[in-house]
Chain A
Amino acid sequence: MQVILIFLSAVLVNNFVMSRFLGICPFLGVSKKVETAFGMGVAVTFVMALASAVTFLVYNFILVKLEITYLYNIAFILIIAGLVQLVEMYLKKSSPTLYQALGIYLPLITTNCAVLGVTVLNMENYSDSFLTSVVHGVGAAVGFTLAIVLFAGIRERMEHNNIPAAFKGFPIALITAGLMSIAFLGFTGLIRL
C-alpha cells in the first residue's frame, strides 16, 4: 500500500516537472510534438528505472561499505552517463527507428537533472528499500512523461493561435506551463505519507 502511495505521489502530487522543477530543459525543448515528447518520456522512464536500481546497489554495497558516501555525486553522474550510453547502443542495434526518432535527445538524457535528481532523492529518502527506490524512480518518470505529453498537446494547438508578438516562443510556453502547474497544485494534500 505504501508503495502505491509513493508511486501516485511521485506522479501527481510531487510531479517532477510541475512542482519540483526537475527536467525543465527537455520539458521546454522536446515538447513541440506529442510523438517526440512521448518518445522522450519512454526513454527517460527506462533510464530512470535503471538508474534508480543501479545507484541503489552501488550506494548501499560500495559507497556505504567503503565509507566514501561523500563521493555519491561523482559516482551517480558516471553511472547515469554509462547507462545512457548502453541504452543508446542497445537501441541502435534492436530498434533503429526509435533510435532515429529520439536522435540528439538520447545522449542529452545524461544532463537531464530529473535523472540525477531522482537518484539523489532516493538516496536521501529511500536508501533502506530497493523496491521503494525503483518505484519512486518509475513514478517520477511517469509523472515527467505525463507532464511533457500534456504540454506538447497544448503547444501543438497553440501553433495555430493568434499570439501577441512579444509572447511568441518561450514566453507563452512558460505561461502555459505556469497555468498547468496551477492545475497540478490541485493535487496538493491528496496523499499524506
Chain B
Amino acid sequence: MILERIRNGIIDENPTFIQVVGMCPVLAVTTTASNAIGMGLATTAVLTCSNVVISLIRKLIPDEVRIPCYVVVIASFVTVVQFLLEGFLPALNNALGIFIPLIVVNCIILARAEAYANKHGALESCFDGIGMGLGFTAALLIIGCVRELLGAGALFGQTVLPEAFPRTVVMILPPGAFLTLGFLMAGLGVLKNKISKGRG
C-alpha cells in the first residue's frame, strides 16, 4: 500500500507531467536545482500535513463548507513552514520569496484534499501526500537541473561545464521555463508512446 501510493505519486499520476496542475511554482522557482528542491520539499511538507489533518477531520466537516475548511488548514501549515524557513533557512526563503505564501493556492494540495484525503484514512492520506510531494519535487528537480546547466553551466551552484561551453542565458530567464517544460513534456510523450508500443 505504502509503495503503491508513492509510486502512484511519482510516476503514474505525477502532478506536473501527467496531471499538469500547480504549474506556477514549477515555472517560477526552477532557476537553480537547489531552489527547486527547497520548493519541492516545502510543498511536500504542507501537502503531507494537510492531507493527514483533513483526513482526520473529514467526518466533522459539513459538506457545504468543506473547501473553506480545507483552505484554512492548508494556510495554517503554510504559515508554519514559512516561519520555519525564515528562522532556519533565510537564504532559501529569500530566493523563493512570494512563492512560499502562494503554496496555499497550489492546486495540487487542494486537489489531493478533495480527491483523496476526503475519502481515505489518515495513514493512506499521509503516504499519498508524501508520494505526490516527491513526484512534484522530482519534476522541479529535473527542470531545475536542465535550466541551471544550460543557463549557468552549473549544478547546485557548482560550475560543471567548461568555460568554453556557451551559456544560454535565456534558460534562466522566464522564457526558459516555458521552453524547458514544453520540450520535456514532448520528450516524455514520445517515450511513453514507445513504451506502450513495445508492450503492445
Query: Could you tell me which A residues sit within 8 Å of B by CB distance?
Result: 18-25, 28, 70-74, 77-78, 81, 110-113, 116-117, 120-121, 124, 166-167, 170-175, 177-179, 181-182, 184-185
Contacts and interface: CB of A to CB of B under 8 A. Distances in A.
Interface of B: 20-25, 27-28, 67-68, 71-72, 75-76, 78-79, 82-83, 98, 101-102, 104-107, 110, 170, 173-179, 181-183, 185-187, 189-190
Nearest to B83: A70
Contacts of A74: 72, 75-76, 79
A121 B175 CA distance: 22
A81 B190 CA distance: 40
A37 to B, nearest CB: 17
B79 A175 contact: no
B185 A112 contact: no
Nearest to B79: A73
B105 A77 contact: yes
B176 A77 contact: no
B14 to A, nearest CB: 13
Given A77-B105, A167-B186, 13 more contacts: A21-B27, A21-B28, A21-B174, A23-B24, A24-B24, A111-B107, A113-B102, A116-B105, A124-B98, A167-B182, A178-B175, A178-B176, A181-B174
Contacts of A178: 175-179, 182
Given A25-B107, A73-B79, A185-B173, A171 B71 contact: no
B105 A166 contact: no
21 contacts: A21-B25, A25-B21, A25-B24, A28-B23, A70-B83, A74-B75, A74-B76, A77-B105, A78-B72, A111-B110, A116-B102, A117-B98, A124-B98, A166-B186, A166-B189, A171-B185, A173-B182, A174-B179, A174-B182, A175-B183, A185-B174
Given A24-B27, A71-B79, A175 B179 contact: yes
Contacts, number: 111
Nearest to B177: A21
B98 A120 contact: yes
Contacts of A112: 105
The 5 lowest CB-CB distance pairs between A and B, nearest first, are: A178-B178, A174-B182, A21-B28, A171-B186, A175-B182
Given A171-B185, A174-B179, A178-B182, A24 B23 contact: yes
B75 A177 contact: no
A174 B185 contact: yes
Contacts of B21: 25
B38 to A, nearest CB: 16
Contacts of A117: 98, 102
A174 B181 CA distance: 7
Contacts of A22: 24, 28, 102
B105 A170 contact: no
A71 B189 CA distance: 43
Contact of A77 (B75, B174, B177, B189): B75
A19 B24 CA distance: 11
A70 B79 contact: yes
B101 to A, nearest CB: 5
B175 A182 contact: yes
B39 to A, nearest CB: 12
Contacts of B27: 21, 24
Contacts of B105: 77, 110-113, 116
Nearest to B71: A77
A78 to B, nearest CB: 7
B45 to A, nearest CB: 15
A78 B68 contact: yes
B104 A77 contact: yes
A78 B71 contact: yes
